[in-house]
């Protein structure tokens, strides 16, 4: 009798467990977790939101593209892949060990006309924003990821050592530009010297040059504005074309008047040959400064580090 009761109790407990198991809820693991989970496909572990920007900047740094450098601190492994992304992997045996993207190659940070860092943006979500990382390039004997920190929530800072930036001119922006953009920069600098534009206007022109060179990413609003400008240049009728021509003529006249107020005689023979004559009040001498500088007068812009 005792054996029969014990058998019935065991069978009842087993049936109860089966019924409870049938009601258990299966929780799916998030795609950005599970580095050590062998049952999760590798392709689903890290899913970038956007593709990386095009490779840009100093040509001698392009050789770093396609390579990755790691740094281990505590239980986390960080990987920096120049011109691609930055990732973080938790090195534990937990079933939900974290593995995520801290940023995708976006743009350069430029200060004093010098490259000072690489911005990796649009990483994995972090509450109401995305994770992002700034990579500082410093001189070193070899290519290696030397330091990682998190100055503020979900904003990371990496220090990457490389002998490719040891030369004082290695991170200057000006030499990386095309001749056309260098000429625009020279003209803007001349206008600033002649007080035809303000410091704020000069910085705005430089920002546009850097965006055109692909060093900075233009905002979505600016991209839409550029598209609208291209569309607006297509005139549907001759009347609209004439109206636009009259408007441009007024703007040119206003510019001429502005130059006259500064006692600057403006002369333009063609688009390729533009010069400004500075006439003094006594009329004794006239100094002509040609905006298109010769190759012999080329100079490097930015902080040389010396």
Q: 122-171, pLDDT tens digit by residue?
A: 999 888 889 999 999 999 999 999 999 999 999 999 999 999 999 999 99
pLDDT at residue 227, as a whole number: 56
Is 64 among the domain residues? yes
**Which residue segment(s) compose the domain that 218 sits in?**
174-233
Is 254 among the domain residues? no
Is 147 among the domain residues? yes
Please name which of 165, 112, 113 lies closest in space to residue 136, comparing C-alpha atoms. 165
What are 269's two structure tokens? 């023979």
pLDDT digits (tens, 9 = 90+) for 85-132: 999 998 888 887 888 999 999 999 999 999 999 999 999 988 888 999
Q: For residue 41, what are the contacts with CB-CB under 8 A and spacing of at least 6?
A: none
Is 294 among the domain residues? no
Chosen domain end from 100, 134, 162: 162
For residues 90 and 3, give the distance between their C-alpha atoms in angstroms, rounded to a whole number.
52
Per residue in 130-151, is it b (16+ CB within 10 Å) or e — as a string?
bbbbbbebeebeeeebeebeee
Is 78 among the domain residues? yes
For residues 284 and 270, give the distance between their C-alpha atoms in angstroms, rounded to a whole number.
27
Give the count of beta carbons closer than 10 Å to the beta carbon of residue 239.
Answer: 9
Range 211-232 average pLDDT? 69
Is 185 among the domain residues? yes
141 and 204 assigned to the same domain: no
149 and 202 assigned to the same domain: no
Q: What is the pTM of this model?
A: 0.61
CATH number at residue 98: 2.70.130.10
Give the count of beta carbons closer than 10 Å to the beta carbon of residue 86.
Answer: 28
Chosen domain end from 131, 162, 193: 162
Is 80 among the domain residues? yes
Please name which of 290, 260, 258 lies closest in space to residue 276, comparing C-alpha atoms. 290
pLDDT at residue 218, as a whole number: 82
């Amino acid at each position: 009798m005792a054996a029969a009761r014990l058998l019935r109790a065991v069978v009842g407990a087993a049936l109860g467990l089966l019924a409870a198991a049938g009601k258990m809820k299966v929780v799916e693991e998030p795609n950005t977790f599970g580095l050590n989970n062998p049952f999760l496909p590798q392709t689903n572990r890290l899913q970038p939101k956007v593709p990386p920007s095009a490779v840009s900047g100093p040509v001698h740094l392009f050789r770093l593209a396609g390579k990755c450098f790691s740094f281990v601190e505590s239980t986390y492994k960080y990987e920096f892949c120049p011109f691609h992304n930055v990732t973080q992997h938790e090195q534990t045996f937990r079933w939900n060990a974290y593995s995520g993207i801290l940023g995708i190659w976006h743009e350069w940070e430029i200060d004093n006309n010098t490259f000072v860092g690489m911005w990796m943006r649009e990483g994995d979500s972090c509450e109401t924003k995305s994770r992002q990382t700034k990579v500082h390039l410093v001189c070193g004997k070899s290519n290696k990821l030397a330091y990682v920190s998190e100055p503020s929530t979900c904003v990371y800072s990496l220090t990457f050592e490389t002998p490719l930036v040891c030369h004082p001119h290695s991170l200057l922006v000006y030499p990386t530009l095309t001749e056309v953009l260098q000429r625009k920069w020279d003209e803007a600098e001349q206008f600033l010297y002649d007080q035809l534009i303000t410091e704020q206007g000069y910085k705005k022109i430089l920002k546009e040059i850097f965006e055109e060179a692909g060093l900075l990413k233009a905002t979505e609003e600016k991209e839409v504005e550029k598209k609208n400008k291209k569309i607006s240049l297509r005139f549907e009728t001759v009347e609209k074309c004439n109206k636009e021509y009259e408007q441009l003529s007024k703007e040119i006249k206003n510019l001429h008047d502005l130059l006259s107020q500064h006692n600057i005689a403006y002369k333009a023979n063609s688009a390729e040959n533009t010069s400004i004559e500075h006439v003094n009040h006594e009329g004794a001498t006239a100094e002509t400064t040609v905006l298109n500088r010769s190759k012999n007068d080329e100079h490097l812009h930015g902080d040389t580090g010396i």
